[in-house]
Structure 1
């Protein structure tokens, strides 16, 4: 009987370590633009979300999930000036799948939608890791 309890305790410790280490390796998922657990048909990358990161503790290594209509939007990685001016600049990194998973880097990162002047309407987000 005592051996079973020992095996159970060891198993629980190992499982707990796996759960913790998985989050440490892969980071936490953040659905960009998602507020109160809802988005319009899971399309969260939308106008007016530039304040979305406020009150969120996003760390380097976490994963940003961008869900959007791939026919009307994109996710473009820009520098701080590109974010401020909504100008993607030369040779930007552009994501166009409609469901992009992007790992948060160590320093600040800036994302805009470069289609149809949607950045000017607030489809942009600046991530400053904690």
Structure 2
């Protein structure tokens, strides 16, 4: 009976350590509302400037889907405000995108919007 109690206590301790570890890893990921309280739109401008993004962080794009969308493009698409057929397009108005390490480029593909500033570049470390 003593060994069963000891085994049970060991399993409980290991479970507790695992839970603390998972919570600490999850707590390290930041959530960012793109554009702040104004959301994704023409006021987004330099929103990403000065922020330190990390792999695992989540970008939350809030917008009216009848007015905007979010397209993840490559560097050329960002510079030229264009997207390819392979580009991932989001259109829910409440898009959540988890960052992986590296540069990410997002634009709105509605006519004139990207050129008007509805685009961001993010580098996740």
TM-score by length of 1: 0.75
Q: Which runs of 4+ in 1 moved over 2 A?
A: 13-22
| Kept after mapping to 2: 8 A contact 1:50/1:126 | no
Equivalent residue, structure 1, for 2:48 = 53
Shift of 1:91: 2.5
Once superposed, what is the RMSD of the aligned Cα atoms?
Answer: 2.0
Please give the residue correspondences for 1:3-42 in structure 2 after superposition, counting only pairs within 5 Å: 19-24=23-28, 27-34=29-36, 38-39=37-38
Q: Secondary structure at the match of 1:21?
A: helix
TM-score by length of 2: 0.78
Equivalent residue, structure 2, for 1:71 = 66
Compare CA radii of gyration and give the structure with the larger one. 2
Please give the residue correspondences for 1:84-99 in structure 2 after superposition, counting only pairs within 5 Å: 84-99=79-94
Q: Which has the higher strand share?
A: 2
Deviations 1:86-120 (A, max 9, x none): 01123211001000000112110100000122001
Equivalent residue, structure 2, for 1:113 = 108
Unmatched 5+ residue regions in structure 2?
1-15
Q: Matches of 1:84 and 1:50 in 2, distance apart?
A: 15
How many residues are matched? Answer: 110
